[in-house]
Chains A and B, each alone.
Chain A
Amino acid sequence: MRVAVTVNGTEYARDVEPRLLLIHFLRDELGLTGSHWGCDTSNCGSCVVWLDQRPVKACTVLAAMADGRSVRTVEDLERDGRLDPVQQGFIECHGLQCGFCTPGMMMTARWLLDRNPDPAEAEIREVLSGQVCRCTGYENIVRSVRWAAEHAKDAG
């Protein structure tokens, strides 16, 4: 079937199998390998991208369901050569180790900060609780998001 999805501001039209998952569409069809596949069951969140401005787990969304809609991935966080404060925060606060969960974590964090520019630690933990990190014990991820909140304008 034909799907047309706007990804990071560019429309891509592809013939795909109806069963193709969005994560495979992004990774295999478009070569956007920044979003990762980790569990198949919506538990780990390595695959989180935005679908029409909301974080979704792309391992349990069909590419067909994204037809006519817009997707934003980690590759779109950096704008005009400037890192998003969330990206800078993860670097500054050692919010990542192996880096596998990081794109998904950052997409959710950016979504949170767009709605609440000054979230408390408890809210950050709540919002990220649908995603798993095996390396950091979450502490530095929380600090990274706080860093981003506190440096909303000066990353880059």
Chain B
Amino acid sequence: MTTGFGRMLRKEDQRFVRGQGTYVDDVHLRGMLHGAVLRSPHPHARILSVDTVAAEAHPKVKAVITGETLNERDLAWMPTLAGDTQAVLATDKVRFQGQEVAFVVAEDHYSARDALELIDVEYEPLPAVADARRALDDGAPLVRDDHPGRTGNHIFDWESGDAERTDRVFRDAEVTVSQDMLYPRVHPAPLETCGIVADFNRVSGKLTVWATSQAPHAHRTLYAMVAGLPEHKIRVISPDIGGGFGNKVPIYPGYLCAIVGSMITGRPVKWMEDRSENLMSTCFARDFHMRGELAASRDGKIRAVRVTVLADHGAFNGAAQPTKYPAGFFGVFTGSYDLEAAHCQVTAVYTNKAPGGVAYSCSFRITEAVYLVERMVDVLAFELGLDPAELRMRNLLRPGQFPYTCQTGWVYDSGDYPRALRLAMDMAGYEDLRKEQEAERARGHLMGIGVSFFTEAVGAGPRKHMDILGLGMADGVELRIHPTGTAVLRISVQTQGQGHETTFAQIVAEELGIPPGDVEVVHGDTDQTPFGMGTYGSRSTPVSGAATAVVARKVRERARIVAAAMLEVDPADLEWERGRWFVRGDPDSGRTITEIALAAHSNLELPDGVEGHLDASCVYNPPNLTYPFGAYICVVDVDPGTGKVDVRRFIAVDDCGVRINPMIVEGQVHGGLADGIGMALMESIVFDADGNCLGGSFMDYLLPTSLECPSWELGATVTPSPHHPIGAKGVGESATVGSPPAVVNAVIDALRPYGVRHADMPLTPAQVWRAIQGRPFRTDLAIT
């Protein structure tokens, strides 16, 4: 009997290891032209004139598109996923360095880039605001003077929790701690940059685009809304995607320019941004200035958490999250703890920086929330002189409290938190590590042990509460069973490396008892798949994975009717075992799903009202999010002379419910842990005071390599989700969310002899070195 779940090698690897993947830049169409974007060198400047005459005279240039060209088509501005507007090509001002100003279409990529230099733009530079903390000052440069009547850079205030109740707990608490911290601006930086091939057929009126999109259906609908094209004439194909991490959720100006370029020239137009364009203009992540406060008893019972946030959204509010949640799911800042009260207040502002904010495997800003609360727990442990693992263990939710409604209203579906933390501590040899640390400190060595515990909330919707631009977050699926019993599954979500072609086949295999190899998974093509909101926020398994199980069960029920007709029994007398229906009490009388599939297409007489065939479809509207969780422990050594941090060990225990393919789950976790090393120690998009971006290449924006990453030590517990058909939870972002605080907590723990309580990411050698300057090394500061 075929088992669907378990370790299975990936189907998609066969093409990738042969170099036969088809990424957007690999798409080559006959007569294809190439686009390039002219970008602003200024963070903030008025555009006085754009002269394209010389560029248009370039012998290989086919079209030059400016904001004015787009204005004629009412396309100079487009809606963002957060309901704001964003300039496609600037008409009035440029608002961040790297903003799109003009687009050249030429016969080849090199000529297109050459022609950019022939465009003469006259700018009047304006003062810029690059620091969110200055954005609300009187007299701060006004970023969005395109909004009628606007006088300042304020975007929204959003709060969650009970302010009064929280204040009350803080007033009578024995201990309170407060800490300011920055989650720096970082970038998902998938190795494949963003791009598109747009092919508008003037005869048929059909627009076909191959795009780096994590949400092809949503993109199709938005193109229809923005460009006024009929939606049935738009086909969005997301072929192989070289990593997404949220970077490929939004629609970027270059996409629209390429589409307009194809409409103007009548030829396909390819546009692939280069690395600097990717880092400087597309969806960044974080940039949250946070103040965290905890109220606790002296013996270490955490009672309340209070947070104020200043969120830097850049020049356009292009954050991608469900409409009702302007700060994403930051409301889960209550973490994994049993609290009496919680409150947060988020204020968002415009600055002269690139737009975005919600990306980089952040689970709609749970990354920021988990970092905040896990850093604060360590700050409290520091103040109370308690072991941070012990402090967590005392405050974690207990298994009997689930489903647990947290102080901000999120309903955690299931969990056994103490078991996960205990397992991580056992794997790490926690108590021995503390002894070793004591001995190291006595020798003047800086060894740090960092603990973090996270709870995630992933798998958006339900659509009643969650939509993007009015599109409800529910996903469709279709399952066809061919007469010979093999299957084609069409899903709305789209892989960027997560292995959907394998795991979704395994779900069908598990439910129907046919080999996963007999299930072809079709995705990433809006003409071939049903509507859905796409892959981000770890939602593929919680939403489309559930849809797949449900549709397979529908097929199974259809098969039951056919099997009953074949066996001439009542359907109610049949029982299912994996792969076949059989007569209850007579196991030898049964029909396999393959036999039933053929019969369903045959001349077998079926009861009145039964159509035949086994194909089915469904739309899955999740009843709740799924809440994966985990306990992470990081061990570091810090060189006090240079400030360099070496990650010696990283222990990660993840609980994502039932694991469809443990090999793939572990791979997802590995990747997220590397992200955590990157964000905690290396990655940051820095701007100077004038708004110049100092992180525009991989020379400046440092990514972790095989040398910065240790050999990961993984553990697992399995607490099924009670509301998911197969008990699975999302896992794609767990480690990215959970690991940065473990690394930072480890570094700060290493610096304990200097009395350092906090230092902001990224903890580069310079940052660590600065943190300990002027502080004497004292062995009496160790945890007792």
- Residues of chain A having any CB pair with chain B under 8 Å: 17, 19-20, 24, 27-28, 31-41, 43-44, 46, 73-75, 77-78, 83, 87-88, 90-92, 94, 96-103, 106, 121, 124-126, 128-142
Contacts and interface: CB of A to CB of B under 8 A. Distances in A.
B25 interface: yes
Given A100-B191, A135-B667, A94 B275 contact: no
Nearest to B34: A28
Given A37-B25, A103-B19, A98 B190 contact: yes
Contacts of A19: 110
A94 B705 CA distance: 18
Given A75-B19, A78-B18, A99-B16, A46 B110 contact: no
Contact of A136 (B16, B20, B22, B670): B670
Given A34-B18, A39-B191, 13 more contacts: A33-B19, A33-B23, A35-B19, A38-B193, A97-B671, A98-B192, A98-B240, A98-B242, A126-B706, A129-B706, A129-B707, A136-B670, A142-B711
B643 interface: no
Contact of A96 (B16, B26, B705, B711): B16
Given A39-B275, A99-B497, A91 B703 contact: no
A34 B20 contact: yes
B671 A102 contact: no
Nearest to A17: B110
A43 B674 contact: no
Contacts of B706: 124-126, 128-129, 138, 141-142
Interface string B86-114: 00000000000000000000000110000
Contacts of A40: 274-276, 697
7 contacts: A38-B192, A87-B17, A97-B499, A98-B241, A137-B672, A138-B705, A142-B706
Nearest to B275: A39
Interface stretch (B5-13, B74-82, B341-349, B564-572): B5-13
B673 interface: yes
Q: How large is the interface on B (under 10, 10 to 19, 20 to 34, 35 or more residues)?
A: 35 or more
Given A41-B697, A139-B711, A142-B706, A100 B192 contact: yes
Chain B interface, DSSP helix/strand/loop, else mixed: loop
B14 interface: yes
Given A44-B191, A96-B13, A99-B12, A140 B705 contact: no
Contacts of B242: 36, 38, 98-100
A141 B14 CA distance: 16
Interface string B320-331: 000000000000
A72 B675 CA distance: 32
Chain A interface, DSSP helix/strand/loop, else mixed: loop
A129 to B, nearest CB: 5
Contacts of A78: 18
B354 interface: no
A99 B275 contact: no
Contacts of A28: 109
B243 interface: yes
B385 interface: no
Given A87-B17, A121-B711, A36 B667 contact: no
A55 to B, nearest CB: 15
Contact of B664 (A90, A94, A99): A94
Contacts of B663: 94
Nearest to A99: B16
Interface of B: 9-10, 12-23, 25-26, 28, 109-110, 189-193, 240-243, 245, 274-276, 496-499, 663-664, 666-675, 697-699, 703, 705-707, 709, 711-712
Contacts of A106: 17
A124 B705 CA distance: 12
Contact of B17 (A27, A91, A101, A131): A91
Contacts of B664: 94
B108 to A, nearest CB: 8
Chain B CB count within 10 A is highest, among A20, A33, A129, A134, for A134
- In the A-B complex, the 7 residue pairs with the smallest Cβ-Cβ separation, listed nearest first, are A34-B19, A98-B497, A100-B242, A99-B16, A137-B670, A97-B497, A43-B698
B712 to A, nearest CB: 5
A59 B668 CA distance: 29
Contacts of A39: 191, 275, 697-698
A134 B275 CA distance: 14
A134 B712 contact: no
A64 B210 CA distance: 32
A125 to B, nearest CB: 4
Chain A CB count within 10 A is highest, among B10, B242, B673, for B242
Contacts of B699: 41, 43
A106 B576 CA distance: 46
Contact of A134 (B9, B28, B671, B707): B671
Nearest to B110: A17
B10 to A, nearest CB: 7
Contact of B673 (A46, A83, A121, A137): A137
A46 B191 contact: yes
Chain B CB count within 10 A is highest, among A31, A99, A100, A132, for A99
A63 B12 CA distance: 31
Given A129-B707, A135-B667, A139-B670, A44 B18 contact: no
A97 B667 contact: yes
Nearest to B27: A33
B537 to A, nearest CB: 17
Contacts of B20: 34
A136 B704 CA distance: 11
B498 A91 contact: no
Chain A CB count within 10 A is highest, among B13, B19, B275, for B19
Contacts of B667: 94, 97, 135-136, 140
Contacts of B703: 43-44, 132, 134
Contacts of A46: 191
Nearest to A86: B17
Contacts of B26: 27, 33
B115 to A, nearest CB: 15
